[in-house]
Amino acid sequence: MKHTSNKKDFIQDVNSHYFTGKYVAEKNWILDYQFRSFIFENLELVGGSFSCSHFQNCTFTNVLFESVNLDECNFKNCKFQNTIFRKCSTEGAKLIDCKGTPRITD
């Protein structure tokens, strides 16, 4: 399993369209991105912000987002299986035509 707190490693994985492992983000990580047809699998992401990002046709399988800012994110035509948003900010986030839903916990 990958474990990184390096934003550069995360950005490199953006280029592959596939995320797995564990990423621990520093508070100043901010990523406003258009994620199209990405696979998030067996992933744990702690911290950071994806505020205003758009996720389209993405698959989330066995994923934990913890203490991540997901405000104003759009998830369109995404598939969620065993996905948890724990202690995440989701104000204004939208799920549009998605299969499954993430479990939101405190």
Sheet holding 3-4, edge to edge: 3-4, 18-24, 39-46, 59-66, 79-86, 103-105
6-61 per-position pLDDT tens digit: 667 777 777 888 888 888 876 666 677 899 999 999 999 998 889 999 999 999 99
Q: Assign 3 a pLDDT band (cuts: 50, 70, 90).
A: low
Give the total number of structural domains in the chain: 1
27: containing domain: 3-105
Contact 90, 104 (CB under 8 A): yes
Can you give the pTM of this predicted structure?
Answer: 0.88
CATH classification at residue 71? 2.160.20.80
